[in-house]
Copies of this chain bind each other. A is one copy, B any other.
Amino acid sequence: MMICKVIGHVWATKKEEALNGLKLMVVQEVETNEKNGSTFVATDSVGAGIGERVLVVTGSTARRAVGSDDRPVDCAIVGIIDSLEVDREAAQQKKSR
């Protein structure tokens, strides 16, 4: 799963019928080591709001989050992050092989 932040909404009237009723949010990947991550459009079924950090799944897995394997969805918000604890020492320490 990617760690993303919800940064916007998107509206599309002309679309595949199987997308009807899905809420589409703009999410941006939040990387520990990069300034600005990539931007995607994800469906939301957990009620995420602008500015919240969320867990996002992609690919065939995203279809598991929208109730039907037939919907053309490849990016879905599956959780709202309450808290994220990173061990800075482990993260920054060079691998020693």
Question: Interface on A for B, CB 8 Å cutoff?
Answer: 1-3, 5-16, 18-19, 24, 26, 28, 30-33, 35-36, 38-42, 45-47, 50-51, 53, 55, 57-65, 69-76, 78-87, 89-91, 93-95, 97
Compute how far the CA of A14 lies from the CA of B11 in the bound complex, rounded to whole angstroms: 25
Q: How far is the CB of A43 from chain B (nearest CB, A)?
A: 9
Q: How far is the CB of A57 from chain B (nearest CB, A)?
A: 4
Residues of B within 8 A of A70 (CB): 64
Interface SS of A by simple majority: mixed
Residue of B nearest to A54 (CB): B12
A14 contacts B60, C-beta separation under 8 Å: no
